[in-house]
Amino acid sequence: MEGTADFEATLEGLLSRRARIVGPTVWAAAQPDPRPVISFAGGLPDIPSLPAGELERAVRAVLERERKEALEYGGTYGPYPLRVAVAERSSRIEGVPVAVDQVIISSGSAHGIGNLCEVLLDVGDVVLAESPNFPGSLRTFRSFGAELVAIPLDADGLRVDAVEEALRQLDAEGRRPKLLYTIPNHQNPAGCTMSLARRERLVQLAKEWGFLILEDDAYGELWFDAPPPPSLFALSGGTHVVKVNSFSKIIATGLRLGWTLGPAPLVARMAAIRYDMGTSPFLGRVVAEMIRSGDLDRHVERLRGIYRRKLERMEEALRRYCAPYCRWERPRGGFFLWLALREGIDAREVAIEANHRGVLVGAGAAFFADGRPTNHLRLAFSYVDYEDIEEGVHRLAEAIEAVASRSRGS
């Protein structure tokens, strides 16, 4: 009989390559901090505006009208009425016709990304990924054994000239990427939006070199003054682009629902490889009802105003308290402001000092695949209470001053 220690050794030998690449660390939503903190850390929606009333109405309608279908297994494409509602809504938002067989529903967009990786990636495949980036997706690509090639960003989004350079360099080694991963709108963490000219060129490159673009649009609908340029998906003419989207930021993260748009044969492959019996038919129908009733569009419209006001408040406070120490580009939407600290001020130390003062921020290094030192902080303005923003930035300024004066003294 094996004891616990022996079994752990046996288990190590039994683990899949994927499990070994990922390692033993389990991701869990952050425990509430027992202190009264002000959090600029998580990419989470505003709490007071979560649409509980709209969800309640939709739940009641679904249970009255389609109880049987809502409470039975669906299929691996996801609930049909939600796919229909998403196809119609996407046709309007994308400005190109989207058919139901181009839509698959996932358990959040994180699952959509993983599902696409299952279809495409083998160990050693190359994925081009803009940098900095959302660490959750980088971890997913790595778990499939992919080799990540970092492509830098600037104020106009992904540096497409650097993509061309990487393609040429890989070609010289006899290699090609399978996938390029980008968050073109209100990027996480950098806040930038890709210009139309770069989008057009990127789609052209995907067609020339035969790779797929994975367009992650978790924040695209949450623009402030004007919608972003057409999506890569819309510009692609129906090939070479897969677009993952999420209900997390426009309804609630707790739904765990997202949708993917792509070429029908690829979407069929994604449905075919799933073994989870699809996402919840019940929740899917509830969200379909929110779309059909117009509640979702009205809610998104409200959210744009809420997040714009929070950003304005944050920028006012940054100008008042932090201006000598940092600079930033104003995001045109989304949840994040990417703060560049003055050279010589260590962002990690600032994050620690801010934490001592009850303010949580994201240290920039977490968003680079190589964890390189960077002088950036990611400030999420989405989740924090409006009334706490000024106080939070004030304390952040104190933290920056403390680190700056230490580095002056050293």
Ligand X SMILES: Cc1ncc(COP(=O)(O)O)c(C=O)c1O
**Residues at the site binding ligand X, with contacts judged by CB under 6 A:** 43, 108-110, 134, 136, 183, 188, 216, 218, 246, 248, 253, 258
In the complex, the smallest distance separating the C-beta of residue 360 from ligand X, rounded to whole angstroms, is 15
Residue 239 backbone dihedrals phi, psi, to 5 degrees: -130, 165
In the complex, the smallest distance separating the C-beta of residue 252 from ligand X, rounded to whole angstroms, is 9
The residue among 119 and 399 lying less far from ligand X, judged by its C-beta, is 119
Q: Which H or E run contains 328?
A: none
| Calpha distance 303→219 (Å, rounded) | 11
Contact 393, 360 (CB under 8 A): no
Distances (CA, A) of 285 to 24, 100, 149, 296: 35, 15, 39, 13
In the complex, the smallest distance separating the C-beta of residue 217 from ligand X, rounded to whole angstroms, is 8
Q: Which three-class secondary structure string do you get for 372-406?
A: CCCCEEEEECCCCCHHHHHHHHHHHHHHHHHHHHH
Cα 35 to its chain centre, rounded Å, is 28
In the complex, the smallest distance separating the C-beta of residue 248 from ligand X, rounded to whole angstroms, is 3
Residue 191, CB-side half-sphere exposure with 13 Å CA sphere: 22
The residue among 260 and 349 lying less far from ligand X, judged by its C-beta, is 260
Residue 63 carries which side chain, given as an amino acid letter? Answer: L
Question: Edge-to-edge, what's the strand order for the sheet holding 362-363?
Answer: 326-327, 336-341, 376-380, 362-363
In the complex, the smallest distance separating the C-beta of residue 173 from ligand X, rounded to whole angstroms, is 30
The residue among 44 and 403 lying less far from ligand X, judged by its C-beta, is 44
The residue among 43 and 191 lying less far from ligand X, judged by its C-beta, is 43
In the complex, the smallest distance separating the C-beta of residue 204 from ligand X, rounded to whole angstroms, is 24
The first and second tokens of residue 75, run together, are 């299929």
The residue among 132 and 392 lying less far from ligand X, judged by its C-beta, is 132
Contact 180, 129 (CB under 8 A): yes
| Calpha distance 141→14 (Å, rounded) | 22
| Calpha distance 109→35 (Å, rounded) | 31
The residue among 106 and 403 lying less far from ligand X, judged by its C-beta, is 106
The residue among 202 and 404 lying less far from ligand X, judged by its C-beta, is 202
In the complex, the smallest distance separating the C-beta of residue 206 from ligand X, rounded to whole angstroms, is 20
Residue 277 carries which side chain, given as an amino acid letter? Answer: M
The residue among 58 and 183 lying less far from ligand X, judged by its C-beta, is 183
In the complex, the smallest distance separating the C-beta of residue 113 from ligand X, rounded to whole angstroms, is 7
The residue among 216 and 346 lying less far from ligand X, judged by its C-beta, is 216
SS3 state at 48: coil
Identify the sign of the CA torsion 233, 238, 243, 245: positive
In the complex, the smallest distance separating the C-beta of residue 133 from ligand X, rounded to whole angstroms, is 8
The residue among 43 and 263 lying less far from ligand X, judged by its C-beta, is 43
In the complex, the smallest distance separating the C-beta of residue 69 from ligand X, rounded to whole angstroms, is 24
| Calpha distance 107→85 (Å, rounded) | 17
Contact 105, 278 (CB under 8 A): yes
Residue nearest to ligand X (CB): 108
| Calpha distance 114→116 (Å, rounded) | 5
DSSP 8-state symbol, 100: G
The residue among 109 and 375 lying less far from ligand X, judged by its C-beta, is 109
Token look-up 């620690």 returns 352
In the complex, the smallest distance separating the C-beta of residue 182 from ligand X, rounded to whole angstroms, is 10
The first and second tokens of residue 303, run together, are 């959210």
